[in-house]
Structure 1
Amino acid sequence: MSTDVSVILLFALAGFLLGGAYSTWKTARKLAIALAVLAVLAAAGGIAWWVGS
């Protein structure tokens, strides 16, 4: 798998996790915060992989 595909997949995962955090915010705040943290980690990983290549 190329680096570009990996970066795109990490950004897509981050977007998916942010959507989940947004949709669960009113019902399960702890889960929403956990999803947001995971989204930030996925986005940071994508940026680091992109800059490092």
Structure 2
Amino acid sequence: MPWWSTLLLALGGILLGGAWSLHRQKAPIWVRITFVILAALAIIAAFFTVPWAD
């Protein structure tokens, strides 16, 4: 797995953790949804940048 895929996957995990933390802190719903969307996009991008077969 290339380093940028690992970085994107880690970013997605951090953003999901941030979304959970914001949920526990009763942040506005639009902020939580934004974090979840950004996390999903980072995780999807991580899997699309992996060279599955050469």
Deviations 1:25-46 (A, max 9, x none): 2222210100000000000000
TM-score of the pair, normalised by structure 2: 0.82
What is the aligned-residue RMSD (CA, Å)? 1.7
Structure 1 runs of 4+ off > 6 angstroms? Answer: none
Higher relative contact order (CA 8 A, sep 6+): 2
Which is helix-richer, 1 or 2?
A: 1
**Residue type at the aligned position of 1:23:** S
Aligned to 2:39: 39
Percent identity at matched positions? Answer: 33
Q: Secondary structure at the match of 1:8?
A: helix
Give unmatched runs, 5+ long, in structure 2: none
Q: Which entry has the higher C-alpha Rg, 1 or 2?
A: 2
